[in-house]
Structure formats: structure tokens, C-alpha cells
Amino acid sequence: MATHWSLATALALLAWYVVAPQCASTLGVVRRETNSWKWTAFLFGYMLALAYLAAFVIYHMAVCWMMPHRIQIEKQLGTDPGVSYPRFVDGAMRCPPEDVGTQQDCHTPTTCLFPQYIG
């Protein structure tokens, strides 16, 4: 399914399910409590229209956000033999990559120096 749906489509579907009238029992309770089919129909139509509006807005916001934020790999570099990865790079304020666990405050050079880093 991931090959057929974009991120925007998935987010729009999630937005639709959050707002859409989910179960018939809720409509039945509204019918019983208000003693009117008019309010039940109004609630169903209102929530359905709101769900489609939410899905429409979320889909178009996601598409507009994704257009300038596409990531394209231009070139994949090979690895150096004898070097373990991931590794620190040169420069002030150096830190391990963000996806290797907790990262301490890197606003000052003294907090970026970890006593031990296992890659």
C-alpha cells in the first residue's frame, strides 16, 4: 500500500477518520435523545462535510509542504576501509548523529564532548 499511497493521501485519510461519524450507534443515541430524525441527519451531514473538508485541507497542505521539501540523493560515497561508522566529524560543536540515541545539549563545546561513544 505504501507504493500506491503518498504521505499526503495517508494524512488526509487519517484526518477524515478523526472527524467522520464513526458508528451507527452514536447516530442511534442522537436519534433517541433528540427524538428527531432531523437532528440525526443534520449531525451525520455536518460531520461528513467536516470530515471531507478536513481531508481536503490536510491533503493540500501536505502536498504543498512536500513539493519544496523533496530529498534527493545525488551521490552515494563509499566507506573508508578500517573506519567504524557512525563517527565524529571535525569541527566545533560536534555531536553524534541525531538518530543514535539521546543527545545532550550541544550549545556549548563542553557539553558535546561525551566520555565514551560507541558507534
Predicted pLDDT at 108: 45
Which pLDDT does position 109 carry in this prediction?
47
Q: What are phi and psi of 13, to 5 degrees?
A: -65, -40
User: Rounded CA gap, 29 and 21, in Å?
Assistant: 13
pLDDT in tens, 57-109: 999 888 887 776 666 778 877 888 887 776 666 666 666 555 554 444 444 44
pLDDT score at 34? 93
**pTM for the complete prediction?**
0.51
Between residues 64 and 35, which one has the greater pLDDT?
Answer: 35
- Residue partners of 119: CB distance under 8 A and separation at least 6: 84, 85, 86, 87, 96, 100
pLDDT reported for residue 69: 65
Q: Could you report the per-residue pLDDT of 5-34, keeping only the tens digit for each?
A: 888 888 999 999 888 877 888 889 999 999
Residues shown for the chain: 119
Residue 83 pLDDT:
77
